A and B are shown apart, each in its own frame.
Chain A
Amino acid sequence: MKEGINPHRPRLSPFFRSPFSLSTLSPRRLFPTALQYLALVILFAFVAFPMFYIASGSLKSTADLSRNVLFPKTLRFDNFVKVFAYPEIIASFGNSAFIAAAALFVSVNACLLAGYAIARRKERLFSGWYLFFLSALMVPGVSTLVMLYRLIFALGLMNTRTALILIYSAGTIPFGILILSGFIKTIPTSLDESAMIEGCGYFSRIYLIVLPLANFAVIIFIVLQLPAIWNDFLYPLLFIRDKWKITVTLGVYNFSRVREADYGSIFALLTLALIPPVAFFIYGQKYIYKGIVAGAVKE
């Protein structure tokens, strides 16, 4: 090691040293590196095994499943055939997609309009209004559940997808206003003003000038909220009865209760239900990581 040649050269922090660069493989440092990989392998096994087991289990015969072998002896697709015998399960993927898309469409528009007003108006009224929305971030969902049930019943929306769309769009509004008004504040007002001089009205300004500039914030919002909507289970459980209107989560839940001990077909459906989130993650990875950082790191 060349330490000590130049006492003024800063040593790199252990954080910034790659464990794979050979110069660092002194016995004193090999131990932490080995420990680090050991920890990684253990945690990886813990996290990856269930997903692997579900996916491989979906291709196993009942005999293989009851013998708990890790890999199927022969690949069998009859578990998937059993799942496809329930067409409402397939429809549930469409329902979930429709509900999530509609809820996000409503909430992006509502938050964009309100976020613009909050970002641009200096009056107390609007900053108070903003806090009014944000206060809801502290209220746990279960505490409004009972009365929400009565309300949805009173509105005649029981057993409709509209109920879910309304609940999800309202539920995402506080976070949407937080992120969109924050982002719109960083867009220079001179752009609005020059559009105003050109005769651009209030609402066309929002959609023609601000929206194209704020699309990063809109994407972050969608990327963070879409999984929450897609994955929700409690509201469909309470509000949806008709088997043709169920969401994926309710479909998986109902299916697991109908075919209680038939783990092969349950695993097949779980594998199918894993596909959309995993695909979404792979597709939106860049934005997901950016979204986490935007939420957790001070500017």
Chain B
Amino acid sequence: MTRRRSGFQRKEFTNSILSMIPATILFATIILIPLALNLFFAFTNYDGLDPSFSYVGFDNFSKLLLKDPLFIASMTRTIFYSLLSMSMGILLQFALAMVLYKGVFLAGFFKAVFYIPSMLSMVIVSISWKGILRYGGVLNHLLRNAGFSNLAFDWLGDVNLVLPTIVLISQWVYMGYGAMVLIGGLNSIPLELVESAQLDGASGARMFFSITLPLIMHSVTVLLFMHITGSLTMFAIPFIMTQGGPRNATELISLNIYNNAFVYGRVGYATAEALLFTIVVAAVGIFQLNATRKREVQY
């Protein structure tokens, strides 16, 4: 009896291992092997074609950090883009969430319209906005007709305007999504807590910072994490709309890596850049998760 039972358990164990195998093989082949290769090639001068590459130690990294103004510029640009798009995104999404949560006329319809852009491909988003923002396009036409002809800019051709324009487009994409995440948090606040806070005389800003915000902190954590990883790795909008131009003004770090690898054939160099970038994104993400999780409250 005992022997049969342990035989059965052994069979269960073997089956459990077997059932891990499909996921593990797929995951290891497509994600881990490239990651490991990436780690290896980051220390070589491989150009993507010539098989006689050699080991160069930390040369790629020192070149990146000390002698590559394009890398430094795209890194600062990415940080600027991320900060701008995150702060604007959080503000707009909070505002929208509050408005929709308070209950408005046709709330379901508004939620749907605000949410739909986040269901669209960045290709559709970029090409649609390109059609609207071009110099002779409808936005400038409307601005001129409304008497603001001095506001009719070359939105995608002006070095100083193009990055903020892309920030606005990313707001267009994510506003409804972020608001829905926050509304999910707001809906989970227990009514008794709000009522007892009101009995104690809390209202307005005090109510928001002492009751609402701590209670939806988990949603804020999730949302911030998405903002950070999403904006740091932004690739498609600048790639499709401006190809990094004008004069590199929209060459964010992902695009810089892509160009180094697939346009200039500096594969070893690009993998070093990608490795550095992965470390930065992971570090910022983990730091943010730790920092905001501390502020989550239990109730």
Taking a contact as CB atoms under 8 Å apart, the answer to whether B132 and A50 are in contact is yes
Q: A252 at interface (Cβ–Cβ under 8 A)? A: yes
Shortest distance between the CB of B253 and any CB in chain A (Å):
8
Interface size on A, residues (CB 8 A): 104
CA A140 to CA B78, docked complex, whole Å: 14
B16 is contacted by which of A70, A117, A234, A298 (Cβ under 8 Å)?
Answer: A117
Within 8 A of B (CB), among A3-54: 10-20, 36-37, 39-40, 43-44, 46-51, 53-54
Write the chain A residue with the least CB distance to B131: A263
Partner-contacting stretch, out of B63-71, B81-89, B104-112: B104-112
Q: A206 at interface (Cβ–Cβ under 8 A)? A: yes
Taking a contact as CB atoms under 8 Å apart, the answer to whether A289 and B267 are in contact is no
Taking a contact as CB atoms under 8 Å apart, the answer to whether B281 and A121 are in contact is no
CA A166 to CA B26, docked complex, whole Å: 7
CA A201 to CA B12, docked complex, whole Å: 9
Taking a contact as CB atoms under 8 Å apart, the answer to whether B236 and A54 are in contact is no
Interface string of A123-136 (1 = CB under 8 A from B): 00010010001001
Q: B45 at interface (Cβ–Cβ under 8 A)? A: no
Within 8 A of A (CB), among B194-213: 194-196, 198-199, 203, 207, 212
Taking a contact as CB atoms under 8 Å apart, the answer to whether B16 and A126 are in contact is yes
Q: Which one of A11, A15, A111, A278 has the highest number of Cβ atoms from chain B below 10 Å of its Cβ?
A: A15
B131 is contacted by which of A43, A57, A109, A280 (Cβ under 8 Å)?
Answer: A57
Q: A142 at interface (Cβ–Cβ under 8 A)? A: yes
State whether A19 and B24 are in contact (beta carbons under 8 Å apart), knowing that A249-B121, A266-B131, A292-B184 are contacts in the complex: no
Taking a contact as CB atoms under 8 Å apart, the answer to whether B184 and A293 are in contact is yes
Shortest distance between the CB of A158 and any CB in chain B (Å):
14
Shortest distance between the CB of B280 and any CB in chain A (Å):
10
Shortest distance between the CB of B108 and any CB in chain A (Å):
9
Taking a contact as CB atoms under 8 Å apart, the answer to whether A170 and B274 are in contact is no
CA A111 to CA B23, docked complex, whole Å: 6
State whether A15 and B194 are in contact (beta carbons under 8 Å apart), knowing that A44-B110, A144-B35, A289-B180 are contacts in the complex: yes
28 residue pairs from A and B, CB less than 8 Å apart: A10-B198, A20-B103, A36-B104, A39-B96, A43-B92, A47-B176, A50-B129, A51-B128, A54-B128, A68-B142, A113-B22, A114-B24, A117-B17, A121-B16, A138-B282, A145-B274, A146-B271, A150-B48, A174-B27, A231-B121, A231-B122, A231-B123, A233-B121, A250-B123, A266-B131, A285-B112, A293-B188, A297-B218
A13-B194, A17-B103 given. 13 additional CB < 8 A pairs?
A10-B196, A14-B203, A17-B102, A113-B22, A120-B16, A146-B267, A148-B30, A150-B48, A169-B26, A233-B123, A249-B123, A289-B184, A296-B218
Task: For the complex of A and B, list the 7 residue pairs with the smallest distance between their C-beta atoms, beginning with the closest.
Answer: A170-B30, A231-B121, A68-B141, A202-B15, A113-B19, A147-B34, A293-B184
